[in-house]
Amino acid sequence: MLVLSPLSAKPLQWNGTLAEAQVVARARRSFNARLATLSAEIAAERARSERSQALPQVSVSETTMKSTLTQLGMPAARQTYASLNVSVPLFAPQAWAAARAAGSSAFAARATSAMAVNRAVREAVVAYDAAALARAVVEQRAIDLRDQRSHLAFTEERVRNGAAPRYLIARDEAALAQAQQSERDARAEAVRTVHELEVLLNLDVTSKPILALSAPSPTLALNVAELERKAYAQRPDVLAAERSVLAARERVAAARDGYLPTISATAQSYNGTSNPALGNAGAQIGITASLPLFDGGSRGAEVRLAQLEYDRTRIALARTRLQARADVLDASSDLKAARRNLTTANSELRNAKIDKHVADLRARAGKGIELEVLDALATLADARENVLRATARYDDALAGLHAAVGDYAPR
């Protein structure tokens, strides 16, 4: 079983079965996903800092002073006091609006992080399908190579029996050499695609994971309207765009609140000693009200800037919604096309098997033409690989649909 512990700097060595569900879980902890999560955490801390400006502030201070210079009738003195200072915002609309905007921005950052995870999982699933396909092609070409060897042995037997001319051996040997080269090329491609997957999942590149293409589900029903509603409700980039609009609206309110007064209460208590004696303890309470009168136009500029940013986020939201709908439609079309392609590929494979069987019967009966069996072998090999590629394409299209509606994003 694959251990789904947080990714560390050291890649994981894995030599067992690696299922697609495990790839999804591990991709959510991939390098890109971790970087996106850190960005969201940074935004959350910034929001917490913004909110703190609208909350009471408490501090402790200590003052020690020794004056030995007498001037203006003041004697030499020594003082040591500890103070407790409290400040409470009573009316601070600008700070409160800024805090709400920061909270919405933090949510948008988390949603953006979730969208990055969604993309990372899709990328990992596609890489997994590519690696599994490459492994399956290697196995299939090994079967093709075995068929070519069997056909060459049959041709050599016919030549020994005088039933076929000798030059057919050279022709079949050339076909065998081509099959051997195709099998070696497939092995090299399999190594490359597995390494790409291992890098994405932070697996050691010396690992030997066991991969397999997922069994297709061509009977899956598609309700495009329902998929669109699902994308609008849960797709992270749509949610991020909506919260960005809310944050921009709060920033407009914060900028306009800059014209309003602010009121805060302050309190201070102190305890200590002094020489000459000035008292050991005391306290003071005050209320401060501030009304800005003239600022050279800076507040007006801030309001206009915030309004422009609000308009920009609304446009971005409309574009993101339209893109989400387009992605769902494209993914649905891709899945339908992949389903038809898979059906066609399986039909072609059945026909190729029949043609190969007929060609073998004709050859053994001495009624076939010279290239008939080789052509049937090539057609059968292509048909087998087409089924594998159609299966991988269907899996990729299904992953694309999940990504289009945001299914891979963490909740």
Residue 281 lies in a domain: no
Residues 282 and 69: their CA atoms lie apart, in Å, by 26
The residues, ordered by sequence, that sit 6+ positions from 188 with a Cβ below 8 Å of its Cβ are: none
Q: What pLDDT is stored for residue 340 in this prediction? A: 93
Q: Are 2 and 29 in contact (CB under 8 A)?
A: no
Question: What total of structural domains would you count in the chain?
Answer: 1
Distances in Å between the Cα of 408 and the Cα atoms of 160, 196, 234, 328, 401 are: 62, 20, 10, 14, 10
Phi, psi of 292 (to 5 degrees): -70, 135
Q: Are 289 and 262 in contact (CB under 8 A)?
A: yes
Residue 283 lies in a domain: no
Here the tokens at position 374 are 């080789």
CATH number for the domain spanning 242: value is: 1.20.1600.10
Here the tokens at position 105 are 């921005």
Residue 1 lies in a domain: no
Residue 43 lies in a domain: yes
Q: What pLDDT is stored for residue 5 in this prediction? A: 46
217: containing domain: 20-53+95-260+295-405
Q: What pLDDT is stored for residue 290 in this prediction? A: 85
Map tokens 């299904």 to a residue. Answer: 398
DSSP annotation string for 216-256: P-TT----HHHHHHHHHHH-HHHHHHHHHHHHHHHHHHHHH
Residue 33 lies in a domain: yes
Q: What pLDDT is stored for residue 347 in this prediction? A: 95
DSSP annotation string for 294-322: --TTHHHHHHHHHHHHHHHHHHHHHHHHH
Residue 352 lies in a domain: yes
Here the tokens at position 22 are 């495990």
> What are 74's strand-pairing partners?
71
Residue type, 253: A
Residue 62 lies in a domain: no
Residues 99 and 108: their CA atoms lie apart, in Å, by 14
Here the tokens at position 304 are 């206009």
| E-assigned strand segments in 146-201 | none
pLDDT in tens, the chain (411 residues): 444 444 455 788 888 888 888 888 888 887 778 888 888 888 888 888 877 877 888 888 887 777 665 655 556 667 787 888 888 888 888 888 888 888 888 888 889 889 989 999 999 999 999 999 999 999 999 999 999 999 899 889 889 988 888 988 999 999 999 999 999 999 999 999 999 999 888 888 888 899 988 877 766 678 999 999 999 999 999 999 999 999 999 999 988 988 888 888 888 887 767 666 666 777 788 888 888 888 778 888 989 999 999 999 999 999 999 999 999 999 999 999 999 999 999 999 999 999 989 988 887 887 767 678 888 998 999 999 999 999 999 999 999 999 999 999 887
Kind and range of the H or E run holding 280: none
Residue 175 lies in a domain: yes
Q: What strands lie across the sheet with 57-67, from one edge to the other?
A: 57-67, 77-91, 262-275, 281-290
